[in-house]
Structure 1
Amino acid sequence: MNDKKNYGFTTTILHNDRLKGIEHGSLHKPVHTSVAFGYADARQLASVFQGKEPGFRYGRQGNPTISALEDKVNKMEQGVGTLCFATGMGAIGAVFQGLLRAGDHVVSSSFLFGNTNSLWQTTMAQGVGVSFVDATDVANVEAAITGQTRVVFVETIANPRTQVADLQRIGELCKARGILYIVDNTMTTPYLFRPKSVGAGLVVNALTKSIGGHGNALGGSLTDTGAYDWTSFPNIYENYKKVAPAQWGLAQIRAKGLRDFGASLGPEAAHHIAVGAETLALRMERTCANAQALAEMLEADERVAAVHYPGLASHPQHGISSELFRKHGSLLSFELKDGIDCFDFLNRLKLAIPASNLGDTRTLVIPVAHTIFYEMGAERRASMGIAESLIRVSVGIEDTDDLLDDFACALEAC
């Protein structure tokens, strides 16, 4: 292969390991299980620890298998560097562990994954102010910014109600104000959307979900897109300014958020995710098509009170989603009309599986208010538009007709 050619998304990911050179001609980077790395020259060991030359220090900060996955994700997001973590929450937690200090302020979308919302509550208890806003309108973000605002954090498509943030205009606002813009790209993946295109400085991906895609490995990543000027960020310690300014953020997060915090990805999980990532584009094409068909069917059913999916013309942010994303994603949610018990409905499904993961090859369903958002209470759920009958659907790659028939039969039985 001519490595100077600009290959497509799948071709690039599929051949990335091989083009970088692998032991014994293997087509996949093998699983390196060692946590320690020896050097014949002790001076070289010191040089690696001081960041003067590349190399591996200790398994908690990475190894060759994890490094190969980081390079793949970095190619997907077109970043200047990527770090991998044990989970997506580990990646988000490492950002705030590594970059924020007491007295800082964050503006966050109020439409958040439940665990991210919980993490913000912990962050607030430790002295960082957080303002939750409706990020579907940039005016709400702008109104919440203060002199201490260090970060604006949004998800592309919110889980589970599928609100789409005003991504482009929030990016323009953050650039004008010199604020770090962090976008969680999990629901769209780098195949459907690259947050770099709207000025995001850091991009989060829960690799457990669609990138790994098979529900067999936990992982998360954080990519620096190169869009943010780290020389304007006030919380960088002098010790991490010894590298080029473009690397200041990741250098500090690697030390404070990965080395010290310890949310390290294991090599076996990294290998599973790297192999799964090879078919991301193919799977997303199928799951998005299935989600569109299922959303349209549910919207037309008289027993369904509401359907939330950006691919529907009735969705409030359908225009933004159509403009920014290649497809509208594989996640949807819907509400049943009064008198239909959501548990009875779920128990009648034969193919869709009651489970809490997302981005699997199989269709997964869950009653949101009673499970993943139960802990936050009814008042907070209501503020996020989460009805008691809301069912979240992570659409899989099943044959479309089989999937639609499964939901139709369950509704008919109700």
Structure 2
Amino acid sequence: MDFNTLCIHGAENNTHSTGAISVPIYQSATFAHPGVGQSSGYDYSRLQNPTREYLEKCVAALERGVDALAFSTGMAAITAFMELFSIGDHIIASGDLYGGTVRLFENISRKNGLTFDFVDTSDIEGVKALIRLETKAIFVETPTNPMMQVTDIKAVAELAKAHNLLVAVDNTFLTPFYQLPLTLGADIVIHSGTKYLSGHNDTLAGFLVTNREDLSEKLRYIYKTTGACLSPFDSWLLIRGIKTLSLRMERQQENALKIAEWLTTQEKVRKVFYIGLKNHPGYEISTRQATGFGSMISFEVDTESTAKQILEGIQVILYAESLGGVETLITYPMLQTHADVPEEERLSRGINNCLLRMSVGIENVDDLIADLKQALQ
């Protein structure tokens, strides 16, 4: 089935007989038993809810997985993933990660006895050099947030399988519309469903998707035990958002490429990080493993005052955290997404006081460029 059709009809709606086109919101915490030792298939919404089940089946189909688990947030999904590991286990992770993920690994997971090495995962030899007896997984973000580094997922997966390691890929930026990590050898795909899957900046959600039955069973146990499941109403919002995923992604990418090219011509802009530009170091890998480039742009301006001038001068674009919605948002990573990353570490990654990150929406691209132009002047 074509991806566009999957977005609309990704799972069979067999939970009701009314003929309703929109999946019902089963706003129920619990479900009655038909008899002793009998179940309708639903017992308690922490275990499963009909609305959430439909969403999970849809996301699993989009990612080519056997199971998807919908969480209350993207960070809740990553937290549950970390419960697969035990004290003393070692994980290799992309060096340029979303700040919230770094905060979780450094302040919660380390406290729980896990160890980490952060490395540029586009450097396969560098990753290989860090593997040791205690290593259990490689955690990849590609493209990374906010420096847009690209990792060869297939190469990492081949290395991991040779050492019996799990591979988890955060696919938030490209979504299954542009990138399918499970088909490239990954074991688990992670999403902040808050972003492109929802697409409207109106709810929080997270996903773990796997194509392995054994991992599905383990994750389902963790899921029901820790309990950070997505509510029925929020599940419905995600179902509604996914219906327009492909349309939004196409328009957002079209806008992003035009804006990225325009930014490269601006005197006050020093660097533009967009994987759809042919001079991006990850361009070739991107064209090989993905069908598109997405709509995330980071760019470095000449001075801190220019960065603040843009943030305070924009009129159409919104200065706000998050990404992936229909509205174009601009973020100041050093004060927002990566504020908790130690300054020395942050600067070593290029996240300085001149760096801005933009999530391009579906507005008229000429209006967006005009807004950036007036803010730069």
TM, length-normalised to structure 2: 0.96
Match of 2:104 in 1: 119
Q: CA deviation at 1:18?
A: 5.6
Match of 2:323 in 1: 358
Say whether residues 1:382 and 2:347 are aligned partners: yes
Residues 220-277 of structure 1 deviation map (CA, whole Å, 9 limit, x = unaligned): 1111123xxxxxxxxxxxxxxxxxxx2x322222222x22222111000000011100
Say whether residues 1:94 and 2:80 are aligned partners: yes
Alignment of 1:172-211 (within 5 A): 172-211=158-197
Say whether residues 1:28 and 2:22 are aligned partners: yes
Take 2:36 and 2:169, find their aligned partners in 1: how far apart are those partners?
41
Q: CA deviation at 1:314?
A: 2.0
Q: CA deviation at 1:336?
A: 0.8
Take 2:330 and 2:287, find their aligned partners in 1: how far apart are those partners?
25
Moved over 4 A (4+): 17-21
Q: Residue type matched to 1:394 in 2? A: S
Match of 1:288 in 2: 253
State the aligned residue count.
376
Q: Residue type matched to 2:99 in 1? A: G
Match of 1:319 in 2: 284
Identity of aligned residues (%): 36
Say whether residues 1:106 and 2:91 are aligned partners: yes
Secondary structure, counterpart of 1:44 in structure 2? coil
2:204 to 218, 222, 228: 218
Take 2:224 and 2:304, find their aligned partners in 1: how far apart are those partners?
52
Q: Which runs of 5+ in 1 are unaligned?
A: 1-6, 46-53, 227-245
Match of 1:331 in 2: 296
> Given that residues 17 and 29 in structure 1 are in contact (C-alpha distance below 8 angstroms), is that contact kept between their aligned partners in structure 2?
no
Residues 292-312 of structure 1 deviation map (CA, whole Å, 9 limit, x = unaligned): 111110011111011111111
Secondary structure, counterpart of 1:341 in structure 2? helix
Alignment of 1:138-177 (within 5 A): 138-177=124-163
> Given that residues 103 and 340 in structure 2 are in contact (C-alpha distance below 8 angstroms), is that contact kept between their aligned partners in structure 1?
no
Q: CA deviation at 1:166?
A: 2.3
Match of 2:368 in 1: 403
Q: Residue type matched to 2:292 in 1? A: K
Take 2:315 and 2:132, find their aligned partners in 1: how far apart are those partners?
51
Alignment of 1:1-80 (within 5 A): 7-17=1-11, 20=14, 22-45=16-39, 55-80=41-66
Residues 153-180 of structure 1 deviation map (CA, whole Å, 9 limit, x = unaligned): 0012111111111222101111222211
Q: Residue type matched to 2:3 in 1? A: F
Say whether residues 1:255 and 2:221 are aligned partners: yes
1:299 to 264, 279, 283: 264
Q: CA deviation at 1:377?
A: 2.5
The structure with the largest helix share of the pair is 1
Take 1:129 and 1:107, find their aligned partners in 2: how far apart are those partners?
9
Secondary structure, counterpart of 2:200 in structure 1? coil
> Given that residues 64 and 183 in structure 2 are in contact (C-alpha distance below 8 angstroms), is that contact kept between their aligned partners in structure 1?
no
Residues 25-58 of structure 1 deviation map (CA, whole Å, 9 limit, x = unaligned): 011210001111111121124xxxxxxxx82231
Q: Residue type matched to 1:36 in 2? A: T
> Given that residues 18 and 28 in structure 1 are in contact (C-alpha distance below 8 angstroms), is that contact kept between their aligned partners in structure 2?
no
Q: CA deviation at 1:20?
A: 4.2
Take 1:262 and 1:164, find their aligned partners in 2: how far apart are those partners?
33
Q: Which runs of 5+ in 2 are unaligned?
A: none
Could you tell which deviates more after superposition, 129-138 or 20-29? 20-29
Match of 2:235 in 1: 270
Q: CA deviation at 1:103?
A: 1.0
RMSD of the alignment, in Å? Answer: 1.4
> Given that residues 210 and 360 in structure 1 are in contact (C-alpha distance below 8 angstroms), is that contact kept between their aligned partners in structure 2?
yes
Match of 1:238 in 2: none
> Given that residues 17 and 28 in structure 1 are in contact (C-alpha distance below 8 angstroms), is that contact kept between their aligned partners in structure 2?
no
Q: Residue type matched to 1:385 in 2? A: G
Take 1:342 and 1:169, find their aligned partners in 2: how far apart are those partners?
37
Q: Residue type matched to 2:375 in 1? A: A
Q: CA deviation at 1:338?
A: 2.9
Q: Residue type matched to 1:309 in 2? A: Y
Take 2:54 and 2:306, find their aligned partners in 1: how far apart are those partners?
47
Q: CA deviation at 1:17?
A: 4.8
Take 1:107 and 1:89, find their aligned partners in 2: how far apart are those partners?
18
Residues 324-371 of structure 1 deviation map (CA, whole Å, 9 limit, x = unaligned): 221111111111113643112211111110110110100000111122
Take 2:111 and 2:209, find their aligned partners in 1: how far apart are those partners?
27
Take 1:125 and 1:383, find their aligned partners in 2: how far apart are those partners?
24
Match of 1:230 in 2: none
Secondary structure, counterpart of 1:316 in structure 2? coil
